[in-house]
């Protein structure tokens, strides 16, 4: 191939630092596979404009990338304050859900945007504010307020995010804002929809019905961010098209020492079920302001690659950071180095139950046994490419040909898959011949290379699965 192949995919979040046409082109050149839009901070006009720009830059550079819309889901925040509150350990504080309720003398009252807070949160619970920088203990409650005591001091400002570890809130998983944002995404042709704060499989099923009713082919990524999601992890994976280990809120909702265990467990569960998995948040956080990452961040990224995650994701690093392109290049370099280290390892892959998966397993086994082999497949709906990717075929890249540009973009997320656009002929031999000619012409393969071809063709109204070994002439 023209360059060493990177199996791990890179997701970059767009923002003020990267939304321009020139910077988008640089991100694509650096190797970004998926561009994420964080709807917690995006307007509808901006969303339409930036998706249009992504498609134009992708077409011009001949590298179609996927667009992931990340809707923010249920969110509990403090209200607007006239000035920040300086709180010391032991200070009282009221979290108020009824703006008409009289304030207690000498006790600061902070409004909260969720009326059900008093109902959901029991006395004795912990309330974490501003990404856990402030911590409160609920000592009492009435119909209008939670009466709290400050455990961790700090300054409390307006519209700060509230976390309630271990508390099941009654907020809907798919809010009215999410519905409005999703409709804009469907209209603009998004490829993935990430749902925040997924707590159970039912949350995803409701979203899937919403998409199907509107004939959207966007695939659903479940973000696990609280303890309910961990409890229901396997059912959530089954109901989703992929999983995101969103370590920001997850690291607040769960004890810190549990976070690496949860990440490892989530990745393994996704691998076993053949679902793509993304590791996100704080991958290269220091590079928001610094040109190089910390050694711990390098090791963190490497750990995700060692565990065979499909993708690693950048957030603030590419939305507001000073070095967005350098961040992408850093992920690219770390991933390539770790993949060289693990190239000979078989690794964990999906269970190959079912006849079609057993055929794909045979193709993967053959490719592993032939040094330098490439896997080639053809797919209209994504099953062949996703099945091969789920089996984690070691060093062998998966060259997937599809006639659908929307599917091509979605295949960008899968570990080890390099998708290409190709019309599939009614004559399978013609399709294979044209695909091999493309690989030779584009430098993806050269004379003498070994190609393991996995196909499922329709012959006389029957599907015929096959595995071929060819030497490129």
369 pLDDT more than 90 = yes
| pLDDT tens for each residue of 414-439 | 999 999 999 998 888 899 999 999 99
List Cβ neighbours of 427 (8 Å cut-off, separation of 6 or more).
none
Which of 348-351's residues contact partners 24+ apart within 8 Å by CB, and which partners?
348/268, 348/271, 348/272, 348/308, 348/392, 349/271, 349/390, 349/391, 349/392, 350/271, 350/272, 350/273, 350/274, 350/387, 350/390, 350/391, 351/272
pLDDT at 244: 98
176 pLDDT more than 70 = yes
pLDDT at 458: 66
| pLDDT tens for each residue of 92-113 | 999 999 989 998 999 999 999 9
Q: Can you list the domains of the chain with their CATH numbers?
A: 9-73+173-340 (3.20.20.60), 85-163 (2.40.33.10), 355-471 (3.40.1380.20)
| pLDDT tens for each residue of 232-272 | 999 999 999 999 999 999 999 889 899 999 999 999 999 99
Structure tokens at 170: 């009654």
CA atoms 129, 181, 328, 342: torsion sign: positive
**Three-state DSSP class for residue 93:** strand
Considering only residues 46 and 171, tell me which one the structure prediction assigns the higher pLDDT: 46
Q: Which residues of 414-447 are buried (b: 16+ CB within 10 A; e: fewer)?
A: bbbbbbbebebeeebeebbeebbebbeeeebbee
- Asked if residue 411 lies in contact with residue 419, where contact means CB atoms within 8 angstroms, the answer is yes
Q: Which of 6, 13, 18, 36 is catalytic?
A: 36
Tell me the pLDDT band of 9, cut-offs 50, 70 and 90.
Answer: very high
- Asked if residue 387 lies in contact with residue 354, where contact means CB atoms within 8 angstroms, the answer is no
Task: Count the helices and strands in the chain (H runs, E runs).
Answer: 16, 21
Q: Which residues of 304-332 are buried (b: 16+ CB within 10 A; e: fewer)?
A: bbebbbbbbbbbbbbbbbebbbbbbbbbb
| pLDDT tens for each residue of 387-406 | 999 999 989 999 999 999 99
Give CA–CA dist 380/376, Å, rounded: 14
Q: What is the DSSP letter of 294?
A: -
R_g over Cα of the chain:
24
| pLDDT tens for each residue of 315-364 | 999 999 999 999 999 999 999 999 999 987 766 677 667 788 889 999 99
CA angle 262, 264, 265 (to 5 degrees): 65
Based on the residue annotation, tell me whether 36 is a catalytic residue of this protein.
yes
Give CA–CA dist 380/362, Å, rounded: 21
| pLDDT tens for each residue of 283-306 | 999 999 999 999 999 999 999 999
| 34, burial (CB in 10 Å: exposed 0-12, middle 13-18, buried 19+) | buried
pLDDT at 347: 65
Q: How far is CA 138 from the centre of its chain?
A: 34
pLDDT at 216: 98
1 pLDDT more than 60 = no
Mean local confidence (pLDDT), 14-19: 98
153 phi/psi in degrees, rounded to 5: -75, 165
Tell me the pLDDT band of 309, cut-offs 50, 70 and 90.
Answer: very high
Based on the residue annotation, tell me whether 77 is a catalytic residue of this protein.
yes
pLDDT at 2: 40
Q: What is the mean pLDDT of the chain?
A: 94
Q: Which of 8, 18, 47, 281 is catalytic?
A: 281
452 pLDDT more than 70 = yes
Nearest residue to 194 via CA among 8, 22, 37? 37
Where do runs of H (alpha helix) occur along 129-168?
Answer: none
**Three-state DSSP class for residue 212:** helix
Q: Which of 26, 63, 77, 356 is catalytic?
A: 77
Mean local confidence (pLDDT), 19-25: 98
Q: Which of 219, 223, 247, 392 is catalytic?
A: 223
- Asked if residue 136 lies in contact with residue 149, where contact means CB atoms within 8 angstroms, the answer is yes
CA atoms 249, 218, 276, 435: torsion sign: negative
Does the pTM of the predicted model rise above 0.85? yes
Mean local confidence (pLDDT), 26-45: 97
In Å, the largest CA–CA distance within the chain is 86
pLDDT at 71: 97
pLDDT at 354: 78
Mean local confidence (pLDDT), 69-75: 93
Mean local confidence (pLDDT), 123-140: 95
pLDDT at 3: 46
> Which residues in 213-335 belong to E strands, given as ranges?
219-224, 242-246, 277-280, 311-314
């Amino acid at each position: 191939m023209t360059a060493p192949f990177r199996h791990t995919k890179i997701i970059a979040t767009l923002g003020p630092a990267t939304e321009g046409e020139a910077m988008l082109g640089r991100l694509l050149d650096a190797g970004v596979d998926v561009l994420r839009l964080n709807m917690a901070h995006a307007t509808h006009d901006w969303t339409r404009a930036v998706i249009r720009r992504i498609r134009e830059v992708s077409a011009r550079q001949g590298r179609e990338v996927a667009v992931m819309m990340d809707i923010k889901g249920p969110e509990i925040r403090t209200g607007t304050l006239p000035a920040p509150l300086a709180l010391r350990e032991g200070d009282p504080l009221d979290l108020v859900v009824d703006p008409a309720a009289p304030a207690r003398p000498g006790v600061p009252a902070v409004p909260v945007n969720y009326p059900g807070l008093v109902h959901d949160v029991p006395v004795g619970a912990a309330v974490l504010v501003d990404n856990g920088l402030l911590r409160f203990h609920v000592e009492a409650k009435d119909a209008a307020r939670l009466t709290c005591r400050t455990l961790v001091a700090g300054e409390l400002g307006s519209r700060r995010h509230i976390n309630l570890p271990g508390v099941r809130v009654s907020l809907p998983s798919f809010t009215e804002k999410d519905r409005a944002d999703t409709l804009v995404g469907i209209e603009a042709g998004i490829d993935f929809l990430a749902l925040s704060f997924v707590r159970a499989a039912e949350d995803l099923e409701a979203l899937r019905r919403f998409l199907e009713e509107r004939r959207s082919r966007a695939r659903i990524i479940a973000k696990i961010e609280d303890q309910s999601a961990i409890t229901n992890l396997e059912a959530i994976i089954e109901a989703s098209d992929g999983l995101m280990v969103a370590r920001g809120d997850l690291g607040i909702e769960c004890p810190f020492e549990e976070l690496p265990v949860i990440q490892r467990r989530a990745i393994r569960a996704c691998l076993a079920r053949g679902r793509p998995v993304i590791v996100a948040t704080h991958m290269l956080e220091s590079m928001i302001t610094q040109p190089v990452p910390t050694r711990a961040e390098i090791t963190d990224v490497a750990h995700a690659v060692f565990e065979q995650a499909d993708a690693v994701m950048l957030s603030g690093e590419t939305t507001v950071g000073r070095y967005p392109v350098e961040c992408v290049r850093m992920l690219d370099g770390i991933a390539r180095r770790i993949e060289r280290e693990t190239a000979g390892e078989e690794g964990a892959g999906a269970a190959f139950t079912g006849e079609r998966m057993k055929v794909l397993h045979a193709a993967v086994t053959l490719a592993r046994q032939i040094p330098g082999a490439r896997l080639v497949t053809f797919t209209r709906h994504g099953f062949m490419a996703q099945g091969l990717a789920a089996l984690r075929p070691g060093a062998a890249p998966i060259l997937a040909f599809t006639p659908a540009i929307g599917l091509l973009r979605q295949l960008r997320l899968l570990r080890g898959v390099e998708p290409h656009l190709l019309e599939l002929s009614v004559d399978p031999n013609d399709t294979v011949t044209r695909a091999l000619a493309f690989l030779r012409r584009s430098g993806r393969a050269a004379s003498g290379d070994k190609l393991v071809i996995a196909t499922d063709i329709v012959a006389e109204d029957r599907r015929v699965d096959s595995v071929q070994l060819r030497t490129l002439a």
